[in-house]
Amino acid sequence: MSNVLITGADGFIGSHLTEELVREGHNVKAFVFYNSFNSWGWLDTLPADIKSEIDVFTGDIRDPNGVRKAMNDVDEVYHLAALIAIPFSYHSPDSYVDTNIKGTLNILQASRNLNTNRVLITSTSEVYGTAQYVPIDESHPYQGQSPYSATKIGADRIAESFYKSFNVPLTIVRPFNTYGPRQSARAVIPTIITQLLAGKKELKLGSLTPTRDFNYVKDTVRGFIEIAKENKTIGEEINIATQQEISIGKLAKELIKQINPNATIITEEERIRPKNSEVNRLLGSNEKIRKLTGWKPKYTLEMGLKETIEWLENNLDQYKTDIYNI
């Protein structure tokens, strides 16, 4: 099995990817954000037999020295570390440039210097902006509709340049909206579910009309792993998508029916994106990933939501349902 580095391993998708790669027998080094609490994020909640197999490296993705040290003797890198909350990017864009663009550059420079065998750079469906056509394939134009998406576009294009200029063996992996256990309340699905589980009579949301293509986290993780296995994915940009969409309003009504039928939806002004920044429709094409790897989603939205609700019922105390988490 290969020696693997996962940046952002302490986060939502990263912790699931770490867990799965350990279960597959890989030697996993988890790059987590240094902090004085010695917290490893969601890795702290993993079963003891999994945690004992993880080599935890504390550092800061913005620092090239720590990144280079972490990448010594590593065969594969899954780069997931990023700032991702769109509302926070409106008032703190500098931190997104430093983390998302400079952090990715640090990974790429170290990969080039160390001759790393395989690098996966995590993108986002937000780089496409509001769909100009559907399903959105990898040739769709990019639109920087928020500082967050603009920095991810920048990171993707720098990665492209390192492949074309220096033959760094990388793939740009572009998941559409991932959800599931361990996701923070800055995302819409845990925002809805945690408010309902807390017994809120008024469900506070932003715009209800945008549509999203939701991936269950276990399907997203499997997409990363299958992409890494195939050499023919090198140099490519690849969506991970279900090729199905649902509006936020319809999703909220379905969850209300399941969890708290007496709740009503109210729109809060602070949760609404600026008009030209809102991404109104995301529906991704998964034709390319199916063709190159054979991956396909195993979870329906109903199956994924069921597992997510069950997990949140047991972990509701970790969420602050009375405040808007940006």
pLDDT band at 250 (very low <50, low <70, confident <90, very high): very high
Beta strands in 72-201 (DSSP E): 76-79, 118-122, 170-175, 178-179
Average pLDDT, the chain: 97
Output the pLDDT for position 241.
98
237's tokens = 């940009």
Q: What is the pLDDT of residue 43?
A: 98
Q: Can you give the pLDDT at residue 143?
A: 98
153-195, pLDDT tens digit by residue?
999 999 999 999 999 999 999 999 999 999 999 999 999 999 9
The C-alpha angle 305, 306, 312, rounded to 5 degrees, equals 85
Decide if pLDDT at 275 tops 90.
Answer: yes
Q: What is the pLDDT of residue 1?
A: 79
- Count of residues in the chain: 326
Burial class (CB in 10 A: 0-12, 13-18, 19+), 302: exposed
Helix (H, G, I), strand (E, B) or coil at 91: helix
119-134, pLDDT tens digit by residue? Answer: 999 999 999 999 999 9
Nearest residue to 302 (alpha-carbon basis) of 211, 216, 219: 216
Report pTM.
Answer: 0.97
Residue 25 contacts residue 1 (beta carbons within 8 Å): yes
Give the pLDDT confidence of 51-64 residue by residue, as tens digits: 999 999 999 999 99
Q: Tokens at residue 258, please?
A: 């399941």
Read off the pLDDT of each residue in 194-208 and give the average, rounded to a whole number: 97
